[in-house]
Amino acid sequence: MSFSLYGALEGARRCAPIAVSGFAIGLVFGVLARQAGIGAAETVLMSALVFSGAAQFVVLGLWTAPLPVATIVLTTLIIGLRHLLMGAALSPWFSKLPRLKAYGSVYFMADENWAFAMNEFTKGRRDAAFLLGGGLAMVVSWTSATLIGRTVGDALEEPSRWGLDFAFTAIFLALLVGMWRGKSDLLPWVAAAAVAVAADAWLPGQWYILLGGLAGSIAGAVRSGY
Amino acid sequence: MLTILLMALATYVTRAGGLWLANRLTLSERMEAWLGYIPGAILVSLVAPAVLASGLPETLAGLAVVLVALRTGSLPLAMVVGVGAVLLFRTLGSGLA
């Protein structure tokens, strides 16, 4: 497993369309953070350090005085639980890296660059810096968009008006098409879809990602005879 | 400010935790089979509610994305088609309603 500048640049290049869509969402986050009364420095720091669109948008709704710190941190933790599965899935490749590189890289692991990186690794490409490069492109775009949105304020409109909310869905779908390994994927994918749709309908927040991911992967392992 | 630092810590714990745990356990064949199914299952879960349960425009746009991805294999093109298609179908939908 190598870890090169070339790999990082390749990751940044491949994630560029995602970073652009993320920019639009980041603008909206900045605007909403201003409306929620979060200070400019804090808003920008949140995007740079937490770097999780899902967690940040949900937390906006909790941002009232006095600040419910425990609730906010717990909510962030729960929304992040899907990362546990994603990190575990990286381990066959990342366990061969020096610790600093592995644990430094996962700081920048988001749904999108993780999905791209898994796609690369399962196709046999072996440059672990791909995840980091994609993540850096995304965090720079996300944080600068947050700053602009926080500064510019109300002049912006909902991204759903332009269909941009569908950009991520489209990328994930297209990646899925490339991940299809044959009939053995049918049962786990159907199980994941059914559980995710049900969980999204009946449970609050982001539980559907974790539950669907668990249901699908367990169904797959069971079907393979384990 | 402390809240934000704690949020950052909570997110990092989840980002590093899966890798940490998986590195510490010796992977049985069963575990490896399970890990192999995670990426597809997570991606399916991420898109399923948006594509299957949001409405007809999203389902049709999803279909368009799958077709473009199958035909061309190009992710940026699939994304552009998806955004364009959802915009078109939503506009048509609200025009009819």
Q: Interface pTM (ipTM) of the complex? A: 0.87
User: Are B11 and A52 in contact (CB < 8 Å)?
Assistant: yes
Angle B8-B11-B16 from CA coordinates, rounded to 5°: 120
Chain B environment of A40 (Cβ under 8 Å): none
The neighbouring-strand residues paired with A2 are A127
Nearest CA of chain A to the CA of B25: how many Å?
11
* Contact by Cβ (8 Å): A52, A199: no
Task: Please state, in angstroms and rounded to a whole number, the distance separating the CA atoms of residues B56 and A108.
Answer: 35
User: Are B41 and A208 in contact (CB < 8 Å)?
Assistant: no
Mutation choice for A interface testing from B26, B32, B34, B46 by most A CBs within 10 A: B46
Q: What is the pLDDT of residue B74?
A: 83
Grouping H, G, I as helix, E, B as strand and the rest as coil, residue B1 is: coil
User: Are A85 and B52 in contact (CB < 8 Å)?
Assistant: no
User: Are A49 and B38 in contact (CB < 8 Å)?
Assistant: no
Residue with the bigger pLDDT between B3 and A57: it is: B3
Angle A45-A151-A62 from CA coordinates, rounded to 5°: 55
| C-alpha radius of gyration, chain B, whole number | 20
- Beta-carbon neighbour count of residue A155 at 10 Å? 8
Q: How many CB pairs under 8 A join A and B?
A: 275
Determine the angle formed by the axes of helices A111-122 and B29-52, rounding to 10 degrees.
Answer: 130
- The torsion defined by the Cα of A204, A210, A215 and A216, in degrees rounded to 10, comes to 120
* Contact by Cβ (8 Å): A69, B3: yes
Select the residue of B12, B18, B83 nearest A85 (Cβ to Cβ): B18
Q: What is the pLDDT of residue A165?
A: 78
For A24, B2, B91, the CA distances from A161, given in Å and listed in that order, are 12, 35, 10
Nearest CA of chain A to the CA of B92: how many Å?
13
The residue-averaged pLDDT of B21-28 equals: 84
* Contact by Cβ (8 Å): B41, A192: yes
Residues 156-215 of A with CB under 8 A from B: 162-164, 166-180, 185, 188-189, 191-193, 195-197, 200-201, 208-215
| CA nearest neighbour of A49 among B10, B16, B19 | B10
Task: Please state, in angstroms and rounded to a whole number, the distance separating the CA atoms of residues A200 and A213.
Answer: 13
Residue with the bigger pLDDT between B32 and A195: it is: A195
**Buried residues in A75-85 as b, exposed as e (16+ CB within 10 A):** bbbbbbbbbbb
Q: What is the pLDDT of residue A158?
A: 64
Q: What is the pLDDT of residue B55?
A: 93
Task: Please state, in angstroms and rounded to a whole number, the distance separating the CA atoms of residues B67 and A150.
Answer: 38
Q: Which two tokens stand for residue A81?
A: 């639980």
Q: Which two tokens stand for residue A195?
A: 């559980």
pLDDT digits (tens, 9 = 90+) for B38-69: 989 999 999 999 999 999 999 999 999 999 99
Q: What is the pLDDT of residue A155?
A: 62
Chain A environment of B62 (Cβ under 8 Å): 169-170, 173
**Buried residues in B11-25 as b, exposed as e (16+ CB within 10 A):** bbebbbbbbbebbee
Q: Does A51 touch chain B (CB under 8 A)?
A: yes
Task: Please state, in angstroms and rounded to a whole number, the distance separating the CA atoms of residues A142 and B13.
Answer: 21
User: Are B86 and A77 in contact (CB < 8 Å)?
Assistant: no
Chain A environment of B76 (Cβ under 8 Å): 17
- The separation between the first and the last C-alpha atoms of chain A, rounded to the nearest angstrom, is 29
Task: Please state, in angstroms and rounded to a whole number, the distance separating the CA atoms of residues B23 and B35.
Answer: 12
Q: Splitting chain A (226 residues) into consecutive groups of 10 residues, what average pLDDT does each group show?
A: 93 92 87 88 96 88 86 88 92 93 96 93 92 97 95 69 80 88 93 97 87 94 83
pTM: 0.81
Q: Does A110 touch chain B (CB under 8 A)?
A: no
Chain A environment of B86 (Cβ under 8 Å): 163, 166
Angle B47-A8-A45 from CA coordinates, rounded to 5°: 70
Q: Does A23 touch chain B (CB under 8 A)?
A: no
Select the residue of A72, A102, A173 nearest B3 (Cβ to Cβ): A72
Q: What is the pLDDT of residue B47?
A: 94
DSSP summary character for residue A183: G
User: Are B44 and A193 in contact (CB < 8 Å)?
Assistant: yes
User: Are B41 and A69 in contact (CB < 8 Å)?
Assistant: no
Q: What is the pLDDT of residue A87?
A: 95
Q: What is the pLDDT of residue A160?
A: 65
The neighbouring-strand residues paired with A127 are A2
Q: What is the pLDDT of residue B97?
A: 62
